[in-house]
Amino acid sequence: MEQGKTNGGEKAKRLRPFIYWTGGKSKNMFYIARNYPRREFTKYCEPFLGSGVVMLDVIEKYKIKSVLANDINKELINTFEQVRDNVDDVIERFKKMEDEYIALAEVEDGQKNFYYNKRKLYNEVIEGGGEDLDDIDIAVLFLFINRTCKDGNYRVNKQGYFTTPWNERILTHSTLNEDDLRDVAKALHGVKFTTASYKSCMSFIDEDTFVYLDPPYIYDIEPQPKFKSISIPYCTEPFTTERFIEFKEFVDKVHDTGASVLVTIPSREKDGEKDKVRELFNEYRIKEIGVGKPDENGNKSRFEFAISNY
Ligand SMILES: C[S@@+](CC[C@H](N)C(=O)[O-])C[C@H]1O[C@@H](n2cnc3c(N)ncnc32)[C@H](O)[C@@H]1O
């Protein structure tokens, strides 16, 4: 295992994540990387992939023989696969779509209407329509929506339709760095992607594996009476307390294989959640780390648990 690969002593160019994601770890990489296992590993598994920022960091820093990346979001995983396999077509078609959008910068509501038309088309794809679109078109649509929706926030309603509004920012220049995307495409060669529940990753995991788990935050919908119109992060099946307990059982099974496991979970005071998480993972090493921007007094206002079996 070799850390910080360099070319002839020069610092290697960093791989840049290309997806904005709710709960994405790009701003917290410093503390996550400090909590990677010290022992050797040759396999890497990330069952809740999201933007893939941690996977890209691990691929870049270590010599990994085998990577499994999974997320329940089919369109997200398709986007990674298309970037890996067809990066030139993705770039060409994305630029075409973005150019059309930029050309509407001066038209009243032009970009807004364009966004909502593309969101409608995206929801047709989710519904099983969009027959004229191939997997590359769907990836391009995903990338476009991801870059023009509000805060890259992936929210769906109860039926699974994407509900995030337009970001209300007029775009006048391209958001895509072609070289960065090509570098990512190269790095993804050999990565196996799957779209399933995180539990399906179990068969890949053994004592040579580093497993990084970043599940959705606990989201108990029952007490909220307006469930019908609610918009839920990521997918139609929110991570309720019950599902979270199942998740803990999964972590135990991963531990039993001899793998190194790192879990990150927001540490929130709400409903005694913090104490519950501490209690649930009391056999593991737990660190609480300040994340995000410091407040005016320089104190961190958000915290996360980094839980590991090492
Ligand atoms: C907190 S986000 C991960 C963010 C990621 N670490 C990053 O840096 O972008 C949680 C992810 O879990 C996925 N997810 C939700 N439920 C899942 C399940 N049951 N199995 C697998 N993935 C799931 C969501 O689609 C989401 O991408």
Q: Show me where the domains of the chain are located.
A: 6-72+196-219+236-308, 76-178
72 CA → ligand 1 middle, Å: 7
Type of residue numbered 192? K
Fold of 76-178: Adenine-specific Methyltransferase; domain 2 (1.10.1020)
Identify the sign of the CA torsion 112, 113, 118, 122.
positive
CATH assignment of 6-72+196-219+236-308, given 3.40.50.300, 3.40.50.620, 2.102.10.10, 3.40.50.150? 3.40.50.150
- To test the pocket of ligand 1, the residue of 29, 55, 72, 237 to mutate (highest count of ligand atoms within 8 Å of its CB) is 72
| Residue whose C-alpha is closest to residue 242's, from 222, 258, 214, 262 | 222
d(CA 105, CA 83): 27
Helices within the chain (DSSP H only): 29-34, 53-61, 74-102, 110-126, 135-148, 178-187, 241-256, 273-280
Residues lower than pLDDT 70 in the chain: 1-13, 219-238
- Alpha carbon distance 212, 49 (integer Å): 9
The pair of structure tokens assigned to 17 is 């994540």
**Residue partners of 305: CB distance under 8 A and separation at least 6:** 263, 264, 265, 266, 267, 277, 278, 281, 286, 287, 288, 289
Token pair recorded at residue 217: 């935050």
CA 8 to centroid of ligand 1, rounded, Å: 37
Residue to mutate (ligand 1; options 48, 198, 247; most atoms within 8 A of CB): 48
Residue tagged 């990084």 (tokens): 212
CB 50 within 8 A of CB 23: yes
- Nearest-atom number in ligand 1 for the CA of 237 is 16
Count of residues for the chain? 310
How far is residue 185's CA from residue 204's CA, in Å, rounded to a whole number? Answer: 23
Q: From CA 200, how far away is CA 217, in angstroms rounded?
A: 20
199: tokens are 């539990």
Phi and psi, residue 195, nearest 5° = -120, 100
- Of all atoms in ligand 1, which is nearest to the CA of residue 243? 19
CA proximity to 57, closest of 12, 100, 102, 115: 12
Q: CA–CA distance from 288 to each of 48, 140, 176, 255, 304 (Å)?
A: 21, 38, 35, 21, 6
Distance separating alpha carbons of residues 128 and 122, to the nearest angstrom: 10
Q: Residue 195 is encoded by which pair of tokens?
A: 């779209």
Whole-number pLDDT of residue 231? 57
